[in-house]
A = this chain, B = another copy of it.
């Protein structure tokens, strides 16, 4: 079953690599993926997707977390235009409305959603001449921005899946939704897609991430618990009042003291007895000069919990501390939630089906032991689907690769075909004809 899809995927190897390298050359940060989104929309349209949603149809505006400044969004728009983005699609994306949803309707049957995240990281790519992207000339041309997390590959896989499934749509019985999600870094974008209803009525949702095998090991698909840490990301801005530290110290309102008190107390949030938690204040910028009372301090922090409850406990306590720290020193504080993810886990039935299907389809796959130490906003999709009785599975698309989020990250492009095959095999299995009918003829 689906053998033709596997074959077709293999034949796309060159195309997948070309797409991926093209994307790699112009990486875009979260909610700035304008050129990327235009290319995706163009491709899906050309492939004959029944519906291609862009702009405000993708993400619910107010639900987007950690939206960049208007200035940054305008610059992204200008760059995308300059680099040849389709002007019709691009116009819809003004103000950070990126991402694409492609829908393929293949008659009666369940709905399968596949998630591909498309954004890049604020990292300057290494120009080490030994690296493939340098040797082959597809190193990032966007200063300070890099696909260091493999989302260029994820996007290419998504386009490959679109091509295979569109070509074989007569084999499918149901609906396929391809979710090209913006702003996964910082777990900022998924929530707003859920809020626009894209997961309503979805029966199965699948997502994947490229990752590194052991040295010497061949590529394979790893399926684990899919467990991720729930998390919340906050920016907190304390505003006080400056005064001359020598002449009128009593007239200041010390944002510095509020911030330092907050930092210590945030780390001191008591452990949760039921579930491991995390807290980090990773960045703090405060004040202007040594003899001026500091009137502004900006904290960037995150909390995590291995259950959503433990994460909510951490998040609520963190807010309480930030507010009290401000009040303690007569300051104001503005707290913005700039990212969030839920605790998620693979549905056991779908996890088993994935392993079984890939084995049958000849895609190397096995169980892995994945610790719940990272956060992923795929969890919003998983939760939306499982909350109404659907099933979810998140798997690792493993191949030889470097360290993620590092300036010299790269991965073996064998993962591209493998990814397309994995998504297509499982989709085909989930949307195969009612057993009585199709199975009879197939065997």
Q: Identify the A interface with B (CB < 8 A).
A: 229, 231, 233, 245-252, 254, 256-257, 259-261, 263-265, 267-268, 270-274, 276-294, 297, 300-302, 304, 310, 313, 320-321, 323-325, 327-330, 371, 373-375
10 nearest A-B residue pairs (beta carbon): A324-B328, A267-B268, A245-B280, A260-B263, A283-B287, A282-B290, A290-B300, A268-B268, A260-B260, A250-B272
A271 to B300: give the CA distance in the assembly, Å. 18
Query: Considering only CB atoms, which chain B residue lies closest to A326 in the complex?
Result: B324
Interface centre among A264, A304, A321, A330 (most CB of B within 10 A): A264
Q: Quick check: A283 and B286 within 8 Å, CB to CB?
A: yes
> In the complex, which residues of chain B have a beta carbon less than 8 angstroms from the beta carbon of A229?
246
- A66 CB, min distance to chain B CBs, angstroms: 10
In the assembled complex, the Cα of A52 lies from the Cα of B270 at a distance in Å of 46
12 additional A-B residue pairs with CB within 8 Å, beyond A257-B268, A271-B277, A321-B328: A250-B273, A252-B270, A257-B265, A267-B267, A267-B268, A282-B289, A282-B292, A283-B286, A283-B287, A284-B297, A289-B300, A320-B328
Residues of B within 8 A of A247 (CB): 273, 371, 373-374
Measured between beta carbons, the chain B residues less than 8 angstroms from A267 are 254, 257, 267-268, 270
Contacts of A274 in B (CB 8 A): 250
Partner of A287, one of B231, B289, B300: B300
**A302 and B245 contact, Cβ closer than 8 Å, known pairs A263-B260, A276-B276, A282-B288:** yes
> Which residue of chain B lies nearest to A245 when distances are taken between CB atoms in the complex?
B280
Which residue from B276, B284, B329 sits with its C-beta under 8 Å from A286? B284
Do residues A293 and B282 form an inter-chain contact, with CB atoms below 8 A? Answer: yes
Distance (whole angstroms) from the CB of A251 to the closest CB of chain B? 7
Whether the pair B290, A272 counts as a contact (CB closer than 8 A) is no
Contact A328 B265 (CB under 8 A): yes
Residue ID in chain B nearest A253 by CB atoms: B270
Instruction: Give Cα A374 to B278, complex, Å.
Output: 22
Q: Which residue of B lies closest to A292 (CB)?
A: B282
Docked pose: A23 CA to B233 CA in angstroms: 50
A233 to B292, CA, bound (A): 13
Cβ–Cβ contact B270 & A265, under 8 A: no
Separation of A297 and B271 alpha carbons in the complex (Å): 21
Residues of B within 8 A of A271 (CB): 249-250, 271, 276-279
Inter-subunit contact B373/A273 (CB<8 Å): yes
* Cα A291 to Cα B281 with chains together (Å): 8
Contact B263–A256 (Cβ < 8 Å)? yes
Q: Which residues of B contact A327 (CB under 8 A)?
A: 320, 323-324, 327
Q: How close is A262's CB to chain B, nearest CB, in angstroms?
A: 8
